[in-house]
Amino acid sequence: MGKMEKVIRWWVGAEPDHYSSGRQRLLIISLLAICAATFALGVPRLRFDDQDVFICLDGAWRILNGQRPVLDFYAAKGPAWFMLHALGLALAGNNARSLGYVSTIVAVLIGTWSFCVLRRRMAPAPCFVACISLMLLAVSPFPLGELPTSTSFAMTFNRYGFALAGLVLLECFLPSSCKEDSLPKQFGGGFSSGLACAVMLFVKISFGLVGLVLAGASVVLRPRERVRWLGLIAGFATFVLPILAYLRFDIPAIVREYRLLAMARGRTLTISSVLFRTWQERFELAPVLLLTLLVVLFAARGAGRRITLAAAGLLAAVGGMLLLMTNTQQTDLPLMAAVALLLVNEVTCAWMRSKADMGGPTPLAALTFLSFGLLVTGIPLSMDAAGLTYALADKVMHVQPAYHLQAPHLRALEFVKYTSEENGYDYGELFVRYTEEAMDLVKAHSAANESVRSMTVANLFSYALLRPPPPGGAVDINHSNFSEKSMPPLGFILGDVDLILIPKIPAADLTNTIKFILTKYHDELEIRYLIEAESPHWKLLRKRTMHGR
């Protein structure tokens, strides 16, 4: 036996037809270790897009105060994302450490879900890598497309969405069986993908649409598995119906919100921009598409299987690029890593079959395909593992000093000292100092029952001051949620709020969208509000009464 064949045999394992107890125990221990690490980390120290942490906290605080996403405020993100954070906030007694609870809940759900769905559908070794990859993808504490050292809680919805989309892709395009005794497995697989698509739809709609396309393609490619179709419908309905009931089946409100969101995000999807971004991401797209072609030509068995793998690669490339361009994300295509896992499993299964019928790839071809696929998968997996490891070490050793807000329920948030080379600002210190200044200004000039919001990307102050949130308005004011060409009325953006905090430069780096709003609605703001008080970096406006005050 040659060295290459020995390596492949080690990868396949001594019991290739099912999990050995040792490998299964190792996988379960690894998944539990990631859950434990996520719980121990809690809220990562914040280095990137610090104020984004208040987007989910503001939405969760609104829900706990009786408001409903979409119906009572412009959520932009799906209601399920805010409901998850509301659960965490309730468990934590309104403390910001709830963010760590949410991460732990997600780790347990994704780890358990991927283990249950994939362990009987994939060969043991690829399944091990897939479960670990999906779990780390979901919970690693830095934004996709950034360095692992950029610890943050920003844009967690993208990580949740990609983890679920990867799980749907694997379930939809893995080899299937049509034997009678596999009918419960067919239904279970369909139920999993239907449920995942529904969750994605109400976490962030763009991920849900991509998931539905993947599921629809799998129905076309697996026409005889009618039991699986029932599973897809059942899984989808299991989540969608309760969410719609929570939203009072107000379909016009849902459509109105998503139309506004589509107008804001759709402007980025021009032919030239798509071609330019595709060229930028060629080093992630090309290797996986090349591997797909090689496996289709030399490892896949049967025309149907070849078509399925080719469809998986193309759909993942197109869907991944559309998600990347509609996300606030610099780079990274996690769906291509999921396709690489699918191909690694295909080659592994082809080698296992070759021992029985002397077909399949040669040892050189199999080892080459496996190495190629594991490299593509291993890079993002290693990045995510490094991010979680670094965040834990940083939490213990405090690599850099950090600043805290004074309120007890906000002490779990650590804003790390970060000095900009461009202007010398320490953004962690500035954020905390300016936030405390604004909170003092509000407390000195208002009653505790008056609602307040800030003209910043996230509204920090309803939750930070534990005040009743204003009816209506948006939790997130940025270019991805509003379009200057189709700006809604001011009341839709701000809601019926008693007090408005407007930052002065350089109290906050105002985005172009907020600058546009302050300019466009300047006269309306003066009519509806008057200046109540000022501090060095903030203006506090109060809503006029019927008597002009």
Contact 284, 336 (CB under 8 A): yes
Q: Which pLDDT tens digit goes with each residue over 62-71? A: 999 999 999 9
Question: CB-based contacts of 99: which residues, under 8 Å, 6+ apart?
Answer: 42, 43, 53, 56, 57, 85, 88, 153, 412
Q: Across the chain, what does the average pLDDT equal?
A: 88
Q: How many Å apart are CA 382 and CA 386, to the nearest integer?
A: 6
Quick one: average pLDDT of 52-77? 92
Distance of CA 30 to the CA centre of its chain: 22
d(CA 547, CA 433): 36
Distances (CA, A) of 539 to 196, 274, 493, 504: 45, 41, 18, 7
Residue 210 clears pLDDT 90, i.e. is over it: yes
Mean pLDDT (whole number) for 302-309? 90
- The three-state secondary structure class of 76 is coil
Contact 344, 377 (CB under 8 A): yes
Q: Which two tokens stand for residue 21?
A: 């107890």
Distance of CA 493 to CAs 38, 422, 461, Å?
35, 32, 16
Mean pLDDT calculated for residue range 198-207 = 94
pLDDT of residue 439: 94
C-alpha separations of 350 from 345, 361, 458, 500 in Å? 8, 7, 51, 64
Q: What is the signed CA dihedral for 292, 296, 302, 305, rounded to 10 degrees? A: 10
Give the model's confidence band at 264: pLDDT under 50 very low, under 70 low, under 90 confident, else very high: confident
d(CA 148, CA 387): 4
14 band by pLDDT with thresholds 50, 70 and 90:
low
Q: Which sign, positive or negative, has the C-alpha torsion 76, 81, 86, 92?
A: negative
Report how far residue 369's alpha carbon sits from residue 367's, in angstroms, rounded to the nearest whole number. Answer: 6
Q: pTM of the prediction?
A: 0.92
Give the model confidence (pLDDT) of 412-467 as tens digits.
Answer: 999 987 776 565 667 788 889 999 999 999 999 999 999 999 988 888 899 999 99
Which segment of 151-160, 169-178, 224-233 scores lowest on mean pLDDT?
Answer: 169-178
Question: In which residue are the tokens 């969101």 written?
Answer: 261
Please name the amino acid found at residue 35: C
